[in-house]
Each structure stands twice: as structure tokens, then as C-alpha cells.
Structure 1
């Protein structure tokens, strides 16, 4: 008796294993077919099934089910197996249509639709996470080339903390094998490139339509070659900022690329200033951070404005915006900036004002014509 029970259980387990194997193979087969199906094919099949079912119900004289709004509702709740029961066929032919045509084929199509939807959502999330998405359609965006765990996060925080900035999406481009570090931040996109100098990869991040670019490579060589490569690919009004540790690289780059603003580590200068004038390092930190306190901003004087005096602008900015003008630059790289110029210094359209304020002053907030009088 005990032996027969053991034999029965053994046979049962064997059959269960066989059934699970068959189910697994069917699942893999179905998934393979779903992978091959396009969205157009799935939607056409569903539409064809809806029309065939509707036509057969019309032939069965199911008038309560065949009006457009009623039929769409009835078809959806029945095929998706929700089945509220408020609508159902009343004729014998109508029941046969539902039993043999609508429910079996509808359930199959509904399963395919769910599988295709899940597959598409997973694919899109995976592409966003791995950085394989194509951003060639982007326009007037900010690109950050390079990844440094703490520094890059701070840069993005500083950009987003400027509440009155022009609303541009941020695209983080890296060459490291990593996933999207800001997946929950809707303002930041992510692209993983094979190289920062490959033309096809640069086209994938819409380099020719970017508005602002930060280059912060893994080392000075990567930063140098990236800046050298993209400086000729960007639009004329695009501003490029590059960070170097070695100041000699800055001089070399500026010989070839006039549209790149370079920054380098100023630790020696800051240490000396802090020693001679205590608190200097804190002033530097406050001026650079948009997270708290007053910050340094810039504002380009729009074209068409008449000549103005620096003193007039200085008093206007202090009185109306509680902002202090620091100086005037004549191009985006600010290589020939005039800091603290005399009050009668002439300022013209196209010049760039650098100032300290609690928040950014926008061009349309300034009455330029009255200041030129």
C-alpha cells in the first residue's frame, strides 16, 4: 500500500514537471511571436476582430449591443474578462458568436496586447536606464559631458536651483558603463556614448542644437579632445564651458577654440586670499552656488539698445533688483572683461553684464530704452 502511494506521487510529480516544461516552452514560443509582432499588426488584428464580431452581432439582430458607444464599451469589458454583465447577447445566434468568436479570439488578442504593452514599457525604461535612447530631436538643451559622482550631482543641483533660468532639459552624456543616475529626475536625460569625439554619437545627443555645454571629462586629455572636437560642431550662440586641472591645457585650447570658456583649479589663489583676507573662500562659495544666498549671474544687453553708462545701470540694478553690477564683458567667454569700470563707462548692445543678486534678472524685466536716455 505504501509502495503504491509512493509510485502514485512519483507519477504525479513527473506529470507536473512535464506540464511545467510544456507551459514554459509555450510561454517562450508566445513571447517570441509577440516580439516579432509590430504594434501595427496587433492593432489591425484587434480592429478586425472588433469589426467581425460587430458584423456577426448585427446579423444576429443584437440591436442593444451594436450602437457605436455601447458596442465599444461592451466589447472592452467582455474581451478584457471584466464582464460587468450589464450588456449581453439575448439571441441564440448572438450567444454562439460570443462563445465561439468574441471571447476565445478576444482573450488571445487581449493577452497579446498586454504582453506587447509590457514589453514596450520595459524596453523604454531599459533604454532610458542604459543610455541607449536617441536624443537627436532635442533642441536648446544643456549637455554635460563627463561623470564625477559628487561633482556632477552638485552641478545639476546648481542648474536646477536657478528658478528663473530658461527652461532647458539637461542631457548627461557619459562613456562609463553605468545606468541613469538621475532616473527619478524628470529634468535630466541620460546618454551613454562610446566616445565624446565620434560624430555619430555626437549627433545622437543633438550637439548642433545644444544651447549650453559643460565638459568635465575623466581627465584633462578627454576634456581637451572633446572641446576641440565639438567647438566646430555647435551653433554660433552655444556657450561651452570646460574644466581643467592643468592650466597649460587652458592656454593650448584657447589658441584653437575661441568659443570655449575654460576654468581650472584655483586652489593656490584661494588659499592665499583666505590667508590674507579671511572669509574670501566663503565669498567665492556664495557667489558660485545657486542653492543659498546671493549668486553671480550674467545678462546680455539685447540688440537694438542705445548706448548706456555703467553708472546708470549700476544705480538702476541696485535700486530695482537689489543687485550689484560687477563688470562688463564683450563676449561669452569674457576674456576681456572690465571689472568695476568707472561710472561713465559706455555700455552697448551685445555687451554682457555680470552682477550679484538673490535671483536672476531677466532681459524682459529691464526697461532698456529708459536707461539709454
Structure 2
């Protein structure tokens, strides 16, 4: 005895799949249609079309796509009737269905990406921005691009609904900035650098800890309002905290008119001289005198160095050498290349990365 509830459920599911034009159903229809068409052409005596499967598929593809090269066509009257009343209408219908389904998948994928529901987990070497501020985040993106540090893949993770950014920035929307799954979708596990600027220090702190959990090596720069929170985040999450220096800049502008504009220019890529850094990767220690000379030749100015075993920045007078693993900080109108920084250095083993 037929079980009507189960039968009705099967019919309902099948009807739903037909309406949604599921890929498995579309593939089954194509295979069934081609098989029936091949049988009909074979019975009609169209041996030129049915003797070789590749030839038949080629004929079906050119007919369905309306290309119609004309090198293959039915030769018998029965074959022409099969083509006119069965093959041509069916081929066009199936081709339209396939084209519509593929277009729908493509449009849906683009829409999901545009709405922030995409997944960039496999992207490597991205620059990830965590948090969004309508006035400040576009400036962050602008400075990243102007800094010319390889930030060609920028991904923004935000909980905001309305976001205005350049089209080149990829968007990920989430309910929380510290959710591991959302951070994975934003390509944090393979990111090169991460910038965190959330709505509160607590949210920024939690996001930094979650990012470090996913990526132990990525460089994280995070903005904090409170100095103590910034210090704790730097110690516990191994990040580079940035604290607002508005009060210091205000005093400098009052005591030394124009210094506030100078400080802004030094931190903004593309406006006058900007502070850049380079790291002595490996090999011999680099001579500070030679580095200073190389910078001068490229219109740069050495302002500070750091040693791998010392957290303090060293200003003039500089030490004689910068040890392997240390870094230099300089002013220039643009980021200098490795060749510009190493031209004239003594020691072939010195390697500097920018």
C-alpha cells in the first residue's frame, strides 16, 4: 500500500527543487534529454550524428547555444522532424535554464560579497581592518594605499550596517568583532597585518586577543583611548598599541606654533615627509653611518633606530651599528626600496626588508 504522507513529501520536495532549479536536477534533465535525443536520431537513421558521442555532444552544444556552425545537421526527413519538434525547442529551453542558473549563482555570490556575507578565509597576505568609523576608516584605507607597503588586499570586518569605502576594499559583516569564525572569514589566519579600531577599548582588547589566537605571527596595531589598557594589550596580546596623543599635540601646538600641523604631516602618507621603517633581517650588523648616508642619497633622514634586545628607541647620537633583527626609522617623501636603503652598505650579508 502506498504511504501517501511520504509520497506527498517526496512530490513536495521534488516540486521545490524544480522551482529552485537545483543543479542535480538540472544535470539529470540534461543527461536524460541528450539520451532520448540520441535514441530518436539513431532511430531516424542519423548515423552521422549518433556514431560518435563527441560529434553528438558538439552538435547538441552548437544547437543549444544557437551558434549553429552548419557543419552538422540532420540529413533524413525523420531526423529533421525530430530536430524541429523535439531537439531544437528542448535544447534552447535547457540552454536558457543552464544560463539562468549560472547567472543566478554568479549574481548571488556577488551580492553576498557586497553585503559582507562572503568568505575570504583562503586569502593570504591581506591587510585586515577590524572596526569601522565613518569619518576615520576611509582615511585609514587612504593612508594604507598611499604608504605603498603592499596593501593591495584590504579586508574590513565590521558590525556596522552602513559602510562607505572604496570598491577595492572587501567587506565582512559580523555580529561581534572578536568572533573567531568572523575573523576567519576576514582572512585573519593568513593576514600580513591587522589594524584594530573598535568602538571601545574593551571591544578592541577582546578583538586583539582573538586575532592573536588565530595568528601568532601577524603584526597587530590597535588604537586605545586608555594608556593602561593599551599597555596590558601590548603585553598580553603582543600587539603594537597606539594611544591618542591629542593632549601632547595640543601643548606642542600652543608652545611651538605650527608643530601640530607638522605632527599630522609626519603621520600621513602622501603629505610631505612621512615616517617609515625598515628592518635589518639577517646577516651582518648594519653600520648606522652607512645607513644614514644611504638615506641622505635618497632624500631621506634617519631619525631613530631600535635594537632587538632593547625596547627603547635610540635617537641621535646613534649607536655604531644596528644589530640583526633591529629596525631603522626615517623620514622621506615616499617609502624607499631595499636597493635604495642598501646601496653603498658595507657587508654583502646585510639584508634589509621594507
> Which residue number corresponds to residue 247 of structure 1?
227
> Which residue number corresponds to residue 311 of structure 1?
289
1:150 maps onto 2:135 in alignment: yes
> Cα distance 1:242–1:331, how it changes in 2: closer, same or farther (>3 A)?
farther
SS of the residue 2:303 aligns to? strand
Alignment partner of 2:159 out of 161, 169, 175: 175
SS of the residue 1:301 aligns to? strand
What whole-Å deviation, never above 9, does each CA across 1:129-154 have from its counterpart, x for those lacking one? 22111222121211110010121111
The TM-score normalised by the length of structure 2 is: 0.81
Alignment partner of 1:118 out of 93, 98, 103: 103
Counterpart mapping for 1:264-303 below 5 A:
264-303=243-282
8 Å CA contact 1:301–1:363 kept in 2: the answer is no
Counterpart mapping for 1:284-363 below 5 A:
284-304=263-283, 306-319=284-297, 321-330=298-307, 335-342=311-318, 344-363=319-338
1:95 maps onto 2:80 in alignment: yes
8 Å CA contact 2:121–2:186 kept in 1: the answer is yes
**RMSD of aligned C-alpha atoms?**
3.3
What whole-Å deviation, never above 9, does each CA across 1:62-103 have from its counterpart, x for those lacking one? 749998998777544532456687865342122122123312
* Deviation of the 1:216 alpha carbon: 0.3
> Which residue number corresponds to residue 185 of structure 1?
167
SS of the residue 2:92 aligns to? helix
* Deviation of the 1:120 alpha carbon: 0.6
8 Å CA contact 1:324–1:356 kept in 2: the answer is yes
Alignment partner of 1:256 out of 236, 243, 246: 236
> How far apart in 2 are the matches of 1:252 and 1:91?
85
Alignment partner of 1:201 out of 182, 187, 202: 182
Alignment partner of 2:191 out of 204, 210, 216: 210
Gaps of 5+ in 1: 1-28
> Cα distance 1:368–1:336, how it changes in 2: closer, same or farther (>3 A)?
farther
What whole-Å deviation, never above 9, does each CA across 1:154-188 have from its counterpart, x for those lacking one? 1111111234x22541110012234x644x623x2
8 Å CA contact 1:300–1:363 kept in 2: the answer is no
8 Å CA contact 1:62–1:91 kept in 2: the answer is no
Alignment partner of 1:226 out of 198, 207, 217: 207
SS of the residue 1:138 aligns to? coil
Counterpart mapping for 1:56-95 below 5 A:
57=41, 60-61=45-46, 63=48, 75-76=60-61, 78-81=63-66, 88-95=73-80
> How far apart in 2 are the matches of 1:196 and 1:205?
10
> How far apart in 2 are the matches of 1:147 and 1:94?
65
* Deviation of the 1:210 alpha carbon: 1.5
* Deviation of the 1:341 alpha carbon: 3.6
Gaps of 5+ in 2: 1-13, 349-354
The TM-score normalised by the length of structure 1 is: 0.77
> Cα distance 1:228–1:105, how it changes in 2: closer, same or farther (>3 A)?
same
Aligned length: 334
> How far apart in 2 are the matches of 1:303 and 1:224?
33
> How far apart in 2 are the matches of 1:131 and 1:116?
22
